[in-house]
Structure 1
Amino acid sequence: MKNLFKILLVVLVGFAFKSCSDDTDNTANTLEQAKTDFVANYVNIVEASYSDALERTNELKTAIDAFVATPTQASFDAAKTAWLAAREPYGQTEAYRFYDGPIDGDDGEPEGYINAWPLDEALIDYVATGTGGEDTSDNRQNIVNNTAEYPTLTKAVIKEISGYNDNESNVTLGYHAIEFLLWGQDSTDPSAKMAGQRPYTDYTTAANADRRGQYLQIATEILVEDLKSVADQWKSGAAYRNFFLGLSKDDAIDKILTGAAKLSKGELAGERMATAVENQNQEDEHSCFSDNTHRDVFLNAKSINNIINGTYVRTGGTVVSGTSLLDVLALVNATEATALTATAAEVMTKVQAISDAKSFDNLIIGETIDDPTKPVMSAVISLRKQGDELAQAGKTITGKTIDPSV
């Protein structure tokens, strides 16, 4: 009887150990599967958002070509509307930067040709006297009207000038160069909540009207080409997509959260928002010519939120969704997942308020960087907190350290 009892005891203990081992294995398997699914969903969201951005930018090109062919107030307004529409999906791609992916490149391109800012508008076209960062010692100013230095405008000429002398404000290409060519300088008082007032006659009866239209078309054509070069690398079967999916899941997640954390704390909260508050200068707005910065802020924050929640709504209304960062984090540290959920919701509420205000340059008037009660700095503080929490999530999940500053 004693032997039978011992046998039963051994069997029961064995079952207990096996059960614990199975639970551990199942937990590990569940986490690894969640990581795999999260990375795959991220890649699908990246592909969809770049595809939408390219589609809308092609529509912008069509509108600009139509305007240059027949410049009227109506076709001018249509081109500006198309620019604003193109920014909606592109703004939601900004979290895919900062980890040497296809958008960044080794030398900062093609991002430097796509979304570079701030720009010295006097490099491209006429500006009001004493504005636009004019430097009369630099004969590369006012390309549109400088027919002696630039008798022929070509892609090569305009690309070569961009970034000239390692000056980051020497921006000749991208969304913001096109924005300036459509809206012109915004010299109105911020309280008026008005964008730049460039007349469409700049493309009909003004000096060098034809060259201005030519520049506008060339810049838009290059933008489409550069954006397509990025979008193509995330398509199914593309080399970079295959490379990214072939990384260890921890390495891939490290890249994903590096982009999201740096955009949240360093770039968006810092360069794009706090700097404008500190300088009290509407020229520091991300989209200062069109007064569309309120949407830039919202959309950039949304690009981070799409990753956190694993969901992207395409321009046509289709939803791309799957395993989210929160799903993965909850399996490792439920407390951190709960905190990030709350912070992310707080961020979106605050940037929605900025978007609803419809005038970023008017909002920053009177704000100071040490006053957290006003709309912009309140959002900045939440974005910084979110950046830190994203960096911590990366360390919790992968063991890798992320610096959320830029």
Structure 2
Amino acid sequence: MQKRTLALAVALAAGISGCSLMPSAENNLTQEQQVVKTYADVAYATFDDAYLTAVELQKSVDMFLAAPSATGLEELKGKWKIAREPYQQSEVFRFGNAIVDDWEGQLNAWPLDEGLIDYVDDSYYQHELGNPGAELNIIANSQVQIGSDTINFGDITPDKLANINELGGSEANVATGYHAIEFLLWGQDLNGTRSGAGERPYTDYVQGAGCSGGHCDRRGAYLKAAVDLLVADLDWMRKQWKTGESDNYRATLMAEPADQGLRKMLYGMGSLSLGELAGERIKVAMEANSTEDEHDCFSDNTHYSHFFNAKGVQNVYLGKYTRVDGSVVNGTSLSDLVQQQNHPLDTALRQQLAQTQRTLQDVVDLAEGPQQIKFDMMIAPGNKQGEQLLTSTINTLVQQTRYIEQVAGTLGVDALNPDTADHEF
């Protein structure tokens, strides 16, 4: 996770590239370069949607804090879920593009020790795992100390939150991003593998005598600072993929040989499919029956996060992204290239990508249907239905990655080696 402040983000934006392709040079491209251009177009649209939906979340936070209510909190939770959809589709760009991977931790690091941020239930045990940051409770304390370091939180600002990430060297000390905001909206999910998500009362944000949980003014300040930082970070990233700029990441990518761009695309697809989604996000939680390893553990929104992660992989291969307003961004795709050289392989990967989406749609349907069996219930010991469905999901992701590796070979991208995150499949 990177401790990048807003000031540093501005500096990086000003000087990201020493080797750039002027925007006019995106004309008269080879077919391979057109594929990379489509990749950049899809990336920009995805990050732009993530930014725009985060702005709507930011507006809702301001409205809610001005007049907290039960209805307002539910509307705010809905805005958070909407904002997750394009962001989860953007994670395919993390693998292969260091600029995204270095940036991503500030927005999506998990799992987190929520005791760093706010009050927790007496049953909370994470601090027993050796992380002193899990007991600091920034909202309740204007000064926090870890070891010999004392940090002043009299004012809770975006920069201060960014700088406390990984406090004391622990990756579980996550102070910013979607999951910190999620915790501030839902609170802890104390249901384990039983039905139910977090149940934070709206009165945790009421000022004055009606305040529950204590320190409601600071909790509101924390929520606003975290959302403001999220918006600023997403704004910075979308600009790195914007066309018409001579000194951003897109310009650097387009100036590279096209085969490097193709490698980044395929490595991102394979690594998200295999090590991250099949491994870290499904296999780990299922084998350990661990709700602490559930991706969206406070809101029980994990099924949608997994679905949209896989959708992002499909978007890159097909060179197509459907924006939140319903418009479609598309262009020359990896699929077009493969179809010309190995039509049966293109058909096989297209079918496998579609099968992955169907399998994850089954996960969504089980979570949202009459039974309301969310991901944390699917991973419960003895839940054979959940185990079979998630095992099937892992298997289709593994097969998908095998086809991606074959595509790499067909296109002359040798030794793709997608990240397994040290998992065996």
TM range (shorter): 0.7 to 0.9
Deviations 1:167-218 (A, max 9, x none): 11110000000000000011125342x2110001111212101100100000
Provide the rounded CA distance (Å) in 2 between the counterparts of 1:148 and 1:240.
Answer: 38
Spell out structure 1 runs of 4+ moving beyond 3 A. 366-369
Alpha-carbon offset, residue 34 of structure 1: 3.3
Go from structure 1 to structure 2 and tell me whether the alpha carbon gap of 1:132 and 1:290 turns closer, same or farther (over 3 Å shift): farther
Give SS of 2:77's match.
Answer: helix
Residue in structure 1 matched with residue 338 of structure 2 by the alignment: 329
Alpha-carbon offset, residue 137 of structure 1: 7.5
Counterpart of 1:349 (choices 346, 358, 362) is 358
Alpha-carbon offset, residue 372 of structure 1: 10
Where relative contact order (Cα < 8 A, 6+ residues apart) is larger, the structure is: 2
Do the aligned partners of 1:174 and 1:223 also contact (CA within 8 Å) in 2? yes
Matches within 5 A, 1:324-403: 324-358=333-367, 359-366=374-381, 374-403=388-417
Higher mean displacement: 176-185 or 233-242? 233-242
Give SS of 1:271's match.
Answer: helix
Residue in structure 2 matched with residue 277 of structure 1 by the alignment: 286
Go from structure 1 to structure 2 and tell me whether the alpha carbon gap of 1:355 and 1:310 turns closer, same or farther (over 3 Å shift): same
Residue in structure 2 matched with residue 200 of structure 1 by the alignment: 202
Counterpart of 1:111 (choices 104, 112, 119) is 104
Residue in structure 2 matched with residue 138 of structure 1 by the alignment: 132
Residue type of the alignment partner of 1:272: R
- Tell me, yes or no, if structure 1 residue 85 matches structure 2 residue 78: no
Residue in structure 2 matched with residue 167 of structure 1 by the alignment: 170
Give SS of 1:312's match.
Answer: strand
Structure 2: tracts of 5 or more residues without a match: 1-28, 145-152, 368-373
Instruction: Output the TM-score relative to the length of structure 1.
Output: 0.86
Deviations 1:331-366 (A, max 9, x none): 222332232122112111101111112211122224
Count of residues in correspondence between the two structures? 369
Residue type of the alignment partner of 2:251: N
Q: Which has the larger radius of gyration?
A: 1
Provide the rounded CA distance (Å) in 2 between the counterparts of 1:84 and 1:344.
Answer: 24
Do the aligned partners of 1:278 and 1:368 also contact (CA within 8 Å) in 2? no
Percentage identity across paired residues of the two chains: 38
Go from structure 1 to structure 2 and tell me whether the alpha carbon gap of 1:323 and 1:148 turns closer, same or farther (over 3 Å shift): closer
Residue in structure 1 matched with residue 42 of structure 2 by the alignment: 45
Provide the rounded CA distance (Å) in 2 between the counterparts of 1:311 and 1:266.
Answer: 24
Instruction: Output the TM-score relative to the length of structure 2.
Output: 0.82
Higher mean displacement: 133-142 or 167-176? 133-142
Deviations 1:97-150 (A, max 9, x none): 12234322xxx3x21111111111111111111316125972662111123433
Provide the rounded CA distance (Å) in 1 between the counterparts of 2:322 and 2:125.
Answer: 37
Give SS of 1:320's match.
Answer: strand
Residue type of the alignment partner of 1:83: W
Residue in structure 1 matched with residue 230 of structure 2 by the alignment: 223
Give SS of 1:337's match.
Answer: helix
Residue in structure 1 matched with residue 161 of structure 2 by the alignment: 158
Do the aligned partners of 2:378 and 2:387 also contact (CA within 8 Å) in 1? no
Provide the rounded CA distance (Å) in 2 between the counterparts of 1:170 and 1:395.
Answer: 40
Structure 1: tracts of 5 or more residues without a match: 1-31
Do the aligned partners of 1:43 and 1:241 also contact (CA within 8 Å) in 2? yes
Deviations 1:64-110 (A, max 9, x none): 11111211112111111110110111111110012234322xxx3x2
Counterpart of 2:255 (choices 235, 238, 246) is 246
Higher mean displacement: 392-401 or 180-189? 392-401
Provide the rounded CA distance (Å) in 1 between the counterparts of 2:267 and 2:170.
Answer: 26
Provide the rounded CA distance (Å) in 2 between the counterparts of 1:100 and 1:52.
Answer: 19
